[in-house]
Structure 1
Amino acid sequence: MADLNHIALFAKVVEAGSFSGAARALVMPKATVSRKIAQLEADLGARLLQRTTRRVTLTALGRAYYEDAAQGLASIERAKERIAASQAAPAGTLRVTAPVGLGAQKLMGWIAEFLQAHERIRIELKLTDDPVDLIGNGIDLAFRAGTLPDSSLITRRLGTSRLALVASPEYLSRHGRPRRIKDLKTHDCVAFGPSLDNEVWRLEGPRGWREVPVHARIAVDGSYAEVQAALAGLGIALLPLALIRHDLEAGRLEQVLHDYGIDGGTMNIVYPSNRHMPAALRAFLDFVVAKAGALPEQARMAAE
């Protein structure tokens, strides 16, 4: 079996581009580096590097071996960093962003509990329903809803929620309660998005998926504003049950057309990298994941 130290030394030679460069970086004799790489090749029974007087290059086998070895070494390094972070006292300032509705409904309570347990950590919280550039704005962690575009960011799902049709009792007393899915065409609705034009809801029901054109009196671009519009009696809204659970229990909103809705609204946490993660961020990440996992499925954080 190949020596792990020899594998790490091989990776350093590849990254430095030469035996002498690796020797300088590691503060060891060049002859020692050469001897250990030769031992690694002997253990593997394969030539990994082609030597010249000034530079080394990878063989085809060497390139494949380096790609796999680099991934393994990175995993080991992350494990070491996690242990070191767990042993260090979390401290410092975290910059966090989240949708307005999530911040108002649930996240603020979680943050209060977290800060009580970690007196040396401070949090700057930005509540917005607009996407935020994490790298450009120096954000440590973001809560984001729905399907996310591919990116280099690390994403972890916190939970899901069913989206259901709801309205305020005041609205239903004025306009009546829809009995069939096609009745939505005659009701005022709350559109989610920047425009009132061509609003169509795609809903799953007893007979499969139905696309229903709806008449929107107001369009809102944010989950918190959408909830407030429904509470104000501006129409029927399609909202995550997890986000409005307390409003339903208190009778401020009522569900209509119970057989129709959408499964799969998601809330995710997004952060730039697992590498060199500060202890404060690791502590907050672990705390949020534990809180979300402790909730029943129907009460987990919901998408916009």
Structure 2
Amino acid sequence: MDTLEAMSMFMRVVERGSFSAVARELGLSQPTISKQIGALEKRLGGRLFARSTRNLSLTDEGQRYYEHCRQILAAVDNAEHSFQTGQERVAGPLRIASSGSFGRIQIAPRLHGFLQQHPEVTIDLQLSDENVDLVSEGIDVAVRIGELKDSSLVARQIGLTRRRVFAAPGYLEHNGVPATPDALSAHNCLVFNQMEHFDSWRFEHAGEWQSVQVKGNVRSNNSEAIRQMVLSGLGLSLSPSWLFREDLQAGRVVAVLEGYTPSSLPIHAVFAPDRRQSARVRAFTDYLRDAFAMDGDVCTR
């Protein structure tokens, strides 16, 4: 059995969703495809698919094997192209992880431009406000905001996200406008609790830094939920400027404490320590870094 050929066949079955679809595509019989997958399962010593009369789904082991196959076959393809041209091609699958809000607002709109430059790349964008395990989820690169807690990861800083304190006009009419960070103690502060020291807000003024403890009646692990609460007039928040960009322009929120600059948060491209940074990963992180350099709310320094 040709292992690479069997891997390729297995990936086709996963991506097409059935043995019969692959058989039609390749001009083979369905039993031939089944026999090939069966031989691969025998070689591996376990089942790749949980077969039923209605559908075809991967076992947990099959899912892990599929992610490895994606990486191996892409590496083989790049190795052949590199031998022929002298350089690695920017092509193949790219699995990206990001928080929900940042991925939706800052990454997704930029994918069109990246794919125009690199049309042979295919992207799987995974959005979650939890930090996923890069290895088990088969992530090529994760984009994370804030100080990194896991020192075992390989990281490259590609930008900074600026922050401001936002509140709805209605909230400020009823509760007053804070003139200094100390005045926040009298306000309902809505906090994003995925950040380290989320209830301590730090500001710079006239070259000096000040930290204030804040409190409020709601906290959340989702920044867009915080945004909705601010828009409803529930309280104020220290949030990324990009999250409220359109709301600020439309007058739905007001930025307060403008004489005091909140600390910016680093944006890192993060990689598993044992995962090779392919040409497509390098191209994508370079593209994001350059795009952030031209953004007023997300910058490189």
What range is the shorter-chain TM-score in? 0.5 to 0.7
Distance 1:236 1:194, change over 3 A: same
Asked if 2 retains the 8 angstrom alpha-carbon contact of 1:165 and 1:260, the reply is no
User: Matches of 2:233 and 2:272 in 1, distance apart?
Assistant: 40
Q: State the SS of the aligned residue for 2:235.
A: coil
1:300 corresponds to 2:298: yes
Q: CA deviation at 1:189?
A: 1.4
1:118 is matched with which residue? 118
2:73 is matched with which residue? none
Q: CA deviation at 1:97?
A: 0.5
TM norm structure 2 = 0.62
Asked if 2 retains the 8 angstrom alpha-carbon contact of 1:180 and 1:257, the reply is yes
User: Matches of 2:125 and 2:212 in 1, distance apart?
Assistant: 38
User: Matches of 1:143 and 1:181 in 2, distance apart?
Assistant: 30
User: Matches of 2:169 and 2:145 in 1, distance apart?
Assistant: 28
Write the letter of the residue equivalent to 2:135.
I
2:164 is matched with which residue? 164
2:212 is matched with which residue? 212
TM norm structure 1 = 0.62
User: Matches of 1:159 and 1:207 in 2, distance apart?
Assistant: 22
Deviations 1:259-301 (A, max 9, x none): 22322311111123597533333332332232223x15x4326
Q: State the SS of the aligned residue for 1:136.
A: coil
Asked if 2 retains the 8 angstrom alpha-carbon contact of 1:165 and 1:261, the reply is no
Q: CA deviation at 1:93?
A: 1.6
Asked if 1 retains the 8 angstrom alpha-carbon contact of 2:188 and 2:217, the reply is yes
Q: Which blocks of at least 5 consecutive residues in structure 1 are unaligned? A: 1-80
Deviations 1:69-110 (A, max 9, x none): xxxxxxxxxxxx9x9498444332211101111112121111
Deviations 1:126-182 (A, max 9, x none): 111111111121100000011113534321112123322111122223323223433
User: Matches of 1:252 and 1:301 in 2, distance apart?
Assistant: 24
User: Matches of 2:86 and 2:242 in 1, distance apart?
Assistant: 32
2:192 is matched with which residue? 192
1:183 is matched with which residue? 183
1:90 is matched with which residue? 90
User: Matches of 1:193 and 1:89 in 2, distance apart?
Assistant: 41
Write the letter of the residue equivalent to 2:272.
P
Distance 1:132 1:203, change over 3 A: same
Asked if 1 retains the 8 angstrom alpha-carbon contact of 2:153 and 2:270, the reply is yes
1:74 is matched with which residue? none
Asked if 2 retains the 8 angstrom alpha-carbon contact of 1:145 and 1:267, the reply is yes
Asked if 1 retains the 8 angstrom alpha-carbon contact of 2:203 and 2:263, the reply is no
1:261 is matched with which residue? 261
Asked if 2 retains the 8 angstrom alpha-carbon contact of 1:205 and 1:260, the reply is yes
| Rg (Cα) greater in structure | 1
User: Matches of 1:211 and 1:280 in 2, distance apart?
Assistant: 41
Q: How many residues align?
A: 219
Asked if 2 retains the 8 angstrom alpha-carbon contact of 1:99 and 1:223, the reply is no
User: Matches of 1:287 and 1:214 in 2, distance apart?
Assistant: 37
1:1-304 correspondence runs (5 A): 84=82, 87-149=87-149, 151-193=151-193, 199-206=199-206, 208-272=208-272, 276-293=276-293, 295-296=294-295, 298-300=296-298
User: Matches of 1:207 and 1:278 in 2, distance apart?
Assistant: 42
Write the letter of the residue equivalent to 2:182.
K
Identity %: 34
Distance 1:276 1:258, change over 3 A: closer
Q: State the SS of the aligned residue for 2:135.
A: helix
